[in-house]
Amino acid sequence: MTRRMNAAAAALFALTAMIGTARAEDFSLTGTYKGLYACDSTTGGVPSSWARPMTAGIVQKGDGFTMQVTYSDKLESPDAEFSLYAGMVAASLDHKLLSGYFEACGGSFPSKELGRFFPAATDASAFSVTIDSVWASNQVPNMPGLTVQTCRWSLTRLSTQIPKLRQCPEN
């Protein structure tokens, strides 16, 4: 009985989501972004907090998107660290708000990350987005032990041109 109720609730949620949102392709996230990310982090049991600049490139196709984020003090350096993501986006019925999620699919070193961006206004003169992510890796260069972070990203779009991105590896 509980299984049937859970399945029914899941089906109702999915139906409500389909009816309550419009296709996101009427507004595209595609472009180049610049911003900052601030994290609370624990590595090997030692807590810390910090913030750093970042750049991002996003390419949206339909309701899906891919993203490459570059982060380090030398963002333009060829040895800058990067992460790759794939996700989905949904628009409100009036296409004035976007929201979505993503997960890591590759990067400079192995990690796991899930992120969610909150409703962002599509009619703002400078489109920007706020993202919360949870990230973990036990293979961070020069950092012994497991690192777990919760981060807040703040990104503003600089250009709507299609950026060149690395691709997520095939599984």
What DSSP element (H or E) covers 2?
A: helix 2-20
Confidence of residue 171 (pLDDT cuts 50, 70, 90): low
The CB-side HSE value for 1 (13 A sphere, CA atoms) comes to 0
Between 11 and 117, residue with greater pLDDT: 117
Nearest to 166 by CA among 93, 90, 80, 100: 80
- pLDDT at position 8 is 36
pLDDT tens-digit readout, 61-113 = 999 999 999 886 554 555 667 889 999 999 888 888 999 999 999 887 777 88
- Asked whether 82 and 72 are in contact (CB, 8 A), the reply is no
DSSP 3-state percent helix, strand, coil across the chain (nearest 5): 15, 55, 35
Q: Against a cut of 0.85, is the pTM above it?
A: no
Check pLDDT > 80 for residue 15: no
Nearest to 56 by CA among 145, 150, 130: 130
- pLDDT at position 79 is 61
